[in-house]
Structure 1
Amino acid sequence: MAVSTAQVDPVGESPEHDLTVDELAARVGVTVRNVRAYSARGLLPPPRMVGRTGYYGREHVARLLLVREMLAEGYSLAMIERTLSSAPPTASSATLALHRALLAPWLPPEPEITTGAELAARAGVPEQPEVVDQLVELGLVERLGDGRLRVLDPALLMAGLQVVGLGVPPAALIAAQTQVNQHVAAIARTYVQMFVDTGWRAFVDAGAPREGLEEILATVTRLQPVAAQAVLAAFRTEMATEVAAAVEAALSQLEAE
């Protein structure tokens, strides 16, 4: 996946701090209606209110420019919302560009809208409302109302449905996945800390020089597939060891009987 490292329009660094919503929309090249819609989704921080008039500053310009750029590249508003949710509300255009570039390789897949009945049919099991409740608690699914569900990680859920199709009870799989998620979180922290200690900290200590940005972004982009390959290789080795031990124990029990 290519990561854009271009800085946003210098207008994002305009010294003007007091723009009305009409002036903000004109400066960035979007409609007032879009500005209000993005604000309603939480993509923009609240304006500074003077009486009944809201005034916008450079941080709003920077965010709108980034939203416009990401929409042009094919990102959905949901994906943009996830990208901006962890960015400081007053971040400058340069900070937002760096924030976006660092997170781009790690953005989750687009959510999928479905129903409990559809999930049960795909798994080949009867519909079980309690299983949906567990999926919600696990953070894999969100309720939208009218029986609709938003699946936050369709690939992970599809893998789970395939396991259920092999005859594993959904409750048992969810319990196992809860433990797996804890271990995966620890693995992720290990790799991220490695990156911080060996690359990011030196980059920041050097003043985040522009000439070092490409190398940092290349490292971030390549870290995900390399880390995934390492984890998968280690998992296969450990899985083979555990299966062999389980088979040996089962055969020993059969012989004893």
Structure 2
Amino acid sequence: MAEGSGTRPGETAETATGTPVREYRMEELAAAAGITVRTLRFYRERGLIPPPRREGRIAWYDDHHLARLRTIAALLERGHTLNGIADLTAAFESGRNVREVLALPAPTEEEPVRLTPEELADHFAGEVTPENLAAALDLGYVLTDGEEFIHISRRLLDVSAALVREGVPLAEVLKAGARVREHAEALAGLFTELLRAHARDGDMQRLRPLAKSVVEAELSMALDRQLRGDTP
């Protein structure tokens, strides 16, 4: 029996959690993605899509594979090469999954943003390289969720995209972000220590805006001095 043939075309299977999932034979998946079976085999051999589920000699694909094929097509349309997509896929799959951090109890004022790989590429046209994606994943700016990304902060996403549009390379934006992270952690530690030493229990969150205001004011004045060429 040839690979992809069987007596259950389009059968709905179940995941380990009992969630139904549509399954496709190779020919069905290729047709749904608008590609040839030969192209599908090539993508699989290159590691661009995950291996299918095997049942004897029959290979079954699912909607996860279809979503990946549509992502590949969209990235190719945006000028990415297959080698680049393969590298992006490797970086993507090595990143922290959003489920690894969902249990973190720390509150945040930042609004996360869900993005498809195509949307992420559109935000940083030509700059979403495997190296930059790996750096963003390492910083925790970007998390993975299935076939999509979660950017942890709409503000950071918008500012980063604006800087890239102004001609600042994304790699340099990410390097600066890493340095800012170090200083921000130090400032947060300073204020946390101060408030823990002198504020009442339960006041940490209430007084948090005061710490932000001090940092914002000092940063604003520091920028003024730097732009005037003054020394502190």
Q: Which has the higher strand share?
A: 2
TM-score using structure 1 length: 0.45
Larger RCO (alpha carbons 8 Å, 6+ apart): 1
TM-score using structure 2 length: 0.50
Q: Which has the higher helix share?
A: 1
